[in-house]
Chains A and B, each alone.
Chain A
Amino acid sequence: MAIPQIALTKCTGCGLCVAVCLKHGLEIVDNKVFFIGGDECNWCGMCEAVCENGAISCPYEIVVEEST
């Protein structure tokens, strides 16, 4: 399972990403955000959208369907 990528050095521990995560997948520990699993991440990208520091991101792999 893919999980959001976290850059701890950029995280200020504000907790906005934790607050908006519908899957309860994030937690602040010692003022830094960590992915704790929760319900399976559906890659909604809201944690990335609310983070002004770019500390959390949901990157996409881009593939081409074979038949095209």
Chain B
Amino acid sequence: MNKQDILNNTPMFTGMSQDKLAAIGKRMFEKSLDRDDVILNEGTTSDALYFVAEGVVKISKTSSEGKEQILKLMRPGDFFNDVPVLDNGAAPANAQAMSYVLLYGISKYDLEIMLKQYPEISVNMLRMMAKRTRYLISLVEDLSFRNVTSRVAKILLENTSHGNQPVHHLTQRDMAAMAGTAREVASRSLKHLESRGLISIENHRITIKNKTALMQMVES
């Protein structure tokens, strides 16, 4: 994607004339990063909104034990760092390049001018923030009220290979769909089961190390 693609295809700029898009484009700056470069550190301040034009940006949180939880992967067309830019607070998560990344940024100062000058952007941004809020509510629901880990445990028990009997191998995406959750949450559940010593994950094989404990988890 180039700058024009971002302007034409990002929901934030939907419904705007080419003249207005060109004016916005002039306020955008370019930033390129190599794989593993850190764009934002959780807790620090940053005063720009970023659009991904090329590559993938990982948005993650780090626990006090140093474990990383990926919250979202940002692909071309996605934007991030909207929350700190709008509420003047610190970055709520880390952002790191997973490949070569090309970003287009709008400074907080310019964004505030644009929001006042072009109300369409404010309306579009509210819609997008509402969509994200819905996603976060469902994530909170998954993590707080539903025991996704026991669902994943059940899925593992029901899909084991027995001798020559062919069993459909499952991806993390499959497990997430079967558990009715996001891939990131299913991945977190697998890591949780592994850290408790109930399973081990080695390349393409998941080995159930303690079937009894896993069954108890499903039944509880």
Contact = CB atoms under 8 A, between A and B. Distances in A.
Interface string A9-47: 000001010011000000000000000000001110110
19 contacts: A20-B56, A48-B172, A49-B70, A49-B183, A50-B98, A57-B171, A60-B169, A61-B167, A61-B205, A62-B159, A62-B169, A62-B208, A63-B160, A63-B206, A63-B207, A64-B160, A64-B208, A65-B207, A68-B210
B204 A2 contact: yes
Contact of B171 (A41, A46, A50, A59): A59
Q: How large is the interface on A (under 10, 10 to 19, 20 to 34, 35 or more residues)?
A: 20 to 34
A54 B55 contact: no
B167 A62 contact: yes
B208 A19 contact: no
Contact of A59 (B76, B98, B170): B170
B204 A68 contact: no
Q: How large is the interface on B (under 10, 10 to 19, 20 to 34, 35 or more residues)?
A: 20 to 34
B184 to A, nearest CB: 8
Contact of A60 (B55, B76, B206): B206
Contact of B170 (A16, A41, A60, A68): A60
Contacts of B183: 49
A61 B167 CA distance: 8
Interface string B28-41: 00000000000000
A58 B209 contact: no
